[in-house]
């Protein structure tokens, strides 16, 4: 599967825009997000009805899920990216080069 530079740009640019928007949203609401996470973590750690074994099991389950996600992402086959070579068109002798989006 060949991906031209234009097709790659159609994937990368929207992804970058969405990433920046998500980062901006998180940074604008970081006080609420982090205080909520901190409260939940403190409630989890300081609850007296949960034993150390239960907490350890919870941490192991979270690590297994994160590991499965990591392995799943790494197992996605990566496409071979070939950059089109710029060559003069045969019918046009004015050294017009056809590179990229006009295929």
Q: What pLDDT does 89 receive?
A: 54
Structural domain boundaries, residue 35: 5-80
CA 62 to chain centre: 20
What angle, rounded to 10 degrees, do the helices at 52-74 and 30-46 form?
130
69 domain-assigned: yes
86 domain-assigned: no
List pLDDT tens digits, range 61-76.
Answer: 899 999 888 888 777 7
91 domain-assigned: no
List pLDDT tens digits, range 34-89.
Answer: 888 888 877 777 766 667 767 788 888 899 999 888 888 777 777 666 555 555 55
Q: What pLDDT does 103 receive?
A: 47
89 domain-assigned: no
The count of domains in the chain is 1
* Residues 6 and 99: beta-carbon distance below 8 Å: no
95 domain-assigned: no
85 domain-assigned: no
100 domain-assigned: no
Interacting residues of 4 by C-beta distance below 8 A, sequence separation 6+: 84, 100, 101, 103
CA 4 to chain centre: 21
């Amino acid at each position: 599967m060949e991906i031209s530079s234009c097709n790659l740009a159609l994937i990368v640019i929207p992804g970058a825009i969405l990433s920046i928007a998500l980062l901006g949203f998180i940074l604008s609401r970081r006080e609420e997000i982090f205080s909520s996470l901190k409260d939940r973590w403190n409630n989890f750690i300081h609850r007296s009805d949960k034993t150390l074994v239960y907490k350890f099991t919870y941490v192991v389950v979270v690590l297994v899920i994160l590991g499965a996600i990591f392995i799943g992402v790494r197992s996605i086959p990566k496409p071979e990216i070939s950059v089109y070579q710029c060559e003069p068109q045969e019918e046009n002798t004015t050294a017009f080069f056809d590179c990229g989006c006009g295929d």
